[in-house]
Chain A
Amino acid sequence: MSISRDKIEQVAWLARIQLEDSEKEALEGKLSDILGMVDQLQAADTDGITPMAHPLDATQRLRPDEVTETNKRERFQAVAPETQDGLYLVPRVVE
């Protein structure tokens, strides 16, 4: 199956990826090839088959509701691009 330029632009926006026009052109062919390859799946008979999420069908464990991690805000914010007063800074979103 092939993927249109419009669809590529829509998906790129959803993924917050900015594409140059030249990139979009190359992607039309390559993404269509990849989606064509994965379309082999449609021929498989999967009626009544349960989707597999974990190879050993493990489920989420529960633990007692106790504090186990200490506050490391300063340590974590030391690797952030921009912080102030313990907060992460981004461009103004509310005027």
Chain B
Amino acid sequence: MHTSTLSELAQALEAGETTSEALTRETLERIQAHDGRYNSFITVAEERALEQARAADQARADGRAGPLTGIPFAHKDIFCTEDLRTTCGSRMLENFAPPYNATVAQKLDDAGAVCVGKANMDEFAMGSSNETSYFGPVTNPWGDGLVPGGSSGGSAAAVAARLVPAATATDTGGSIRQPAALCGLTGLKPTYGRISRYGIIAFASSLDQAGTLTRDARDAALMLNTMAGFDPRDSTSLDREVPDYSASLENDLSGLRIGLPKEYFSDDLSPEMAEQVRNAVREYEKLGATVKEISLPHSHLAVAAYYVIAPAEASANLSRFDGVRYGHRCENPQDLNDLYLRSRSEGFGEEVKRRILVGTYALSAGFFDAYYLKAQKVRRLIQQDFTDAFSEVDLIMGPTSPSPAFAQGDKTDDPITMYLEDIFTIASNLAGLPAMSIPGGMVNNLPVGLQIIGNYFDEARMLNAAHRFQKVTDWHEKVAPNSV
């Protein structure tokens, strides 16, 4: 069953060819037997998953099953799951079992989906290679010694290894799309505010958005149908109707207007990568789309604006980890400041401390206007570029990442090199636009991601475009050589 997509498993369950308990047992056994090679899970929830599976089978027997009922999946370990350890990849939360569910976790529970465990990730989602996790690096199933991307590296590796058919993930600057690209998956980051952030451990609140990692667009649509929607508990959640994302997958693409930003095909992208992306776009022309070059003139400022806004918001969000209410506490604190200082210094890893310091500096007296306010103004310019572009085109396409999967250790010594991994993905977070990555080619036998950026709340059109592409190409069916 592990070669099946989520949609195929849903059909098999519906047809009575298997049960959720059987699927879940098989999934848990595969994780037990093979995850040593990838380290994609921090926590495996065996008993809890089997209980959920039996409940799902009962729900089906009672005629209460939906499309996700009984489907095993993994949560990125950033989603709070009631009574199930949630670490955010950090020593700070090594023993934290949340007293409540994230809205996304609750919605998937209510839909009858079976959470088999919590996926590894960069610490507090800060990283692009899954090497900053306190629980060790994750290995990409496309090659030993290769990173899966980050920060949702465990979610991506678990799906690419075929341990689970789908995983939840989050994307603050590319943390869904870049791992999707490096692992040959379909990764969707919806519009900011489309999915509730309640119960997702906050990194940069004005940028964070939850989404999915799946094998294809059809599965992403099924997940989004359940995960999306207004939530009064998230003050930035937007109250918009949730369409049936599965219903429009087959729509005709004739007349679809695609824009290719010339700034995304600059020297930052190797000629081999550019060729693969252009070939993928040519498939869309065959499907009836028209393609034109566009310009997003402020693109070169996106990484700089992001590395002010994200660390600034992170420094504020992570101030809650003080060793008092939850999380790591140092031994024998001498006084209150000693408690704060040692609990935080022991609990946070190097990259997290670095970003807290950058953010604290950017927000400190005398620097706020020059950094945070300036970055927020540049953010508006970047958004305006997109608004102008979407007056001429329906979707924007380009590369997801500058290169395919790279070797572990390659970029850990130089933060800036690592930050540039997200050079093509950050702008859509700054603008709050939905964006996805789908497999669009291969370079050196490694997957290349095609990025699709849509207008606000245009996820249905993006999924439609991705699905039609996947019907005429087989990049998404390529199997990682080290998968199960």
Contacts and interface: CB of A to CB of B under 8 A. Distances in A.
> A and B: partners?
yes
Contact of B99 (A18, A51, A72): A72
A26 to B, nearest CB: 9
Interface in A47-69: 49-56, 58, 60-61, 63
Contacts of A3: 361
Contact of B380 (A14, A51, A78): A51
A80 to B, nearest CB: 5
B22 interface: no
A41 B305 CA distance: 7
Interface in B355-404: 356-358, 360-362, 364, 370-371, 373-381, 383
Most buried by B among A30, A75, A76, A92: A30
Contact of A27 (B98, B232, B354, B377): B354
Main SS of chain A's interface residues? loop
A51 B345 CA distance: 33
Contacts of B1: none
Contact of A11 (B98, B326, B361, B431): B361
Contacts of A60: 235
Interface in B332-365: 333-342, 344-345, 348, 350, 353-354, 356-358, 360-362, 364
B200 interface: no
Contacts of A37: 303-304, 307, 416, 419
B92 to A, nearest CB: 12
A17 B353 contact: yes
Given A58-B236, A82-B329, A41 B345 contact: no
Contacts of A50: 377, 380
Contact of A55 (B232, B307, B432): B432
A55 B99 CA distance: 31
Interface string B176-203: 0000000000000000110000000000
Contacts of A46: 374, 377-378, 381
A41 B364 contact: no
A8 B375 CA distance: 22
Contacts of B193: 55-56, 58
A31 B357 contact: yes
Interface string B447-471: 0000000001000000000000000
A4 to B, nearest CB: 11
Interface in A16-48: 16-19, 23, 27, 30-31, 33-35, 37-42, 44, 46
Interface string A67-93: 000001001101111100000101111
Contact of A17 (B97, B305, B307, B357): B357
B238 to A, nearest CB: 6
B64 interface: no
B235 A61 contact: yes
Contacts of A88: 324-325
Contacts of A78: 99
A27 B333 contact: no
A61 B98 CA distance: 27
Nearest to B354: A30
Interface residues of B, number: 72
A58 B377 contact: no
A38 B376 contact: no
Contacts of B319: 15-16
A23 B337 CA distance: 20
B417 to A, nearest CB: 10
A40 B374 CA distance: 11
Contacts of A12: 357
A35 B379 CA distance: 18
Given A30-B354, A37-B307, A40-B300, A79 B345 contact: no
Given A78-B99, A88-B324, A90-B324, A54 B416 contact: no
B96 interface: yes
Contacts of A56: 192-193, 238, 432, 456
Nearest to A14: B360
B415 interface: yes
Contacts of A51: 373, 376-377, 379-380
B23 interface: no
Given A78-B99, A82-B329, A88-B324, A35 B358 contact: yes
A38 B326 CA distance: 34
A76 B305 CA distance: 37
Contacts of B322: 16
23 contacts: A18-B344, A30-B354, A31-B361, A37-B303, A37-B416, A38-B362, A41-B304, A41-B371, A46-B374, A49-B377, A51-B380, A55-B206, A55-B456, A56-B193, A58-B236, A60-B235, A72-B99, A75-B99, A90-B324, A90-B339, A91-B333, A91-B339, A93-B336
Given A41-B301, A41-B375, A79-B325, 20 more contacts: A11-B357, A14-B360, A15-B315, A15-B344, A18-B341, A27-B354, A40-B300, A41-B378, A44-B381, A46-B377, A50-B377, A51-B380, A52-B377, A55-B383, A75-B99, A79-B98, A90-B333, A90-B336, A91-B335, A93-B336
Give the top 3 A-B pairs by smallest Cβ distance, nearest first. Answer: A55-B432, A51-B376, A81-B329
